[in-house]
Amino acid sequence: MFKESSHIIAGISTKVDGNMKLDSSSVSDPAAYNRQLFFNRRGFSDRPIISAGLVHGRRVAVIQATDPGGTVPGYDALITDGKGMMLTITVADCLPLYFYDPVKSVIAIAHAGWRGILDNIGGEVAASFKKNYGSQLSNIQVVIGPHLQKCHFEVQDDVASRFAANPEFIIKTDRTFIDLSGLVRRQLVSAGLADNNIRVSGECTYCLTDKYFSYRRDKGELKTMISYICLPGKE
């Protein structure tokens, strides 16, 4: 996934892995079971799994190496230098942003929907690398994972108007679409990252019916993928 991918465990689940959306109101949560199976199959059953609570905000939680795992409510991004910590978010159209600083050995993951992108969550994560770990921004690598691409992120005028400051990412035909990953890339470069350190997946969650859940395509059905990143170690 990253340029120096051999050092990093990262990816996203697909439909065959089942629904990964945790439902804390359910006593016997099938998604929790699916998650455990998913990480077991990959041989990661012994690691603390930390999940961002997701509120379409921009806050970044710093996760210590001693964290036992669990959900971190009120956050959309997680960052750590702890080895073996599995950082996760769930997505089903929103953009999963994976971050890696190979020099400081720090990772982060962020859940970026259009609201979080308007709040520049990517730039917030970049700032967190610098503030908490002294990262050089030019060293940070980013991968933007599968998401609702500009072929399918159609918006009405109310949402389009929120992007008026970034007209180059608004595509107008007889309908209106927004190129969210294009905007995130520009925000990251504005934050100080190198353009050639940013990779964007071409996969669209809506287009790939057999591979991914899509909130938009599935008409609000609450099924999601899990995106994860982990610094290996302790082995």
Query: Do β-strands 49-52 and 86-91 pair in parallel, antiparallel, or remain unpaired?
Result: parallel
Tokens of 230: 């982990």
Give the three-class secondary structure for 68.
coil
| Dist. CA 194–CA 189, nearest whole Å | 6
In the complex, least distance from residue 206 CB atom to Zn ion, rounded to whole angstroms: 4
Tokens of 200: 């964007």
State how far the alpha carbon of 187 is from the alpha carbons of 8, 116, 124, 155, 210, in Å: 24, 12, 10, 21, 31
Exactly one of 127, 137, 207, 208 binds Zn ion (CB under 5 A); that residue is: 207
Asked whether position 222 contacts Zn ion by CB under 5 A, the answer is: no
Tokens of 151: 């072929």
Among 2-10, 113-121, 187-195, 207-215, which window interacts with Zn ion (CB under 5 A)?
207-215
In the shown chain, the binding pattern of residues 135 to 154 toward Zn ion, with x for contact by CB under 5 A and - for none, equals --------------x-xx--
Q: Which is nearer to Zn ion, 85 or 117 (CB)?
A: 117
In the complex, least distance from residue 72 CB atom to Zn ion, rounded to whole angstroms: 31
Q: Which is nearer to Zn ion, 7 or 152 (CB)?
A: 152
Q: Which residues lie closer than 8 Å to 146 by C-beta, 6 or more apart?
A: 12, 96, 201, 203, 204, 205, 208, 212, 225
Q: Which is nearer to Zn ion, 186 or 211 (CB)?
A: 211
Q: Residue count at the site for Zn ion (CB under 5 A)?
A: 6
Asked whether position 209 contacts Zn ion by CB under 5 A, the answer is: no
Asked whether position 204 contacts Zn ion by CB under 5 A, the answer is: yes
User: Nearest to Zn ion by Cβ — which residue?
Assistant: 204
Exactly one of 2, 98, 163, 206 binds Zn ion (CB under 5 A); that residue is: 206
| Dist. CA 180–CA 160, nearest whole Å | 12
Contact criterion met (CB below 8 Å) for 164 and 117: no
Residues found near Zn ion in the complex (CB under 5 A): 149, 151-152, 204, 206-207
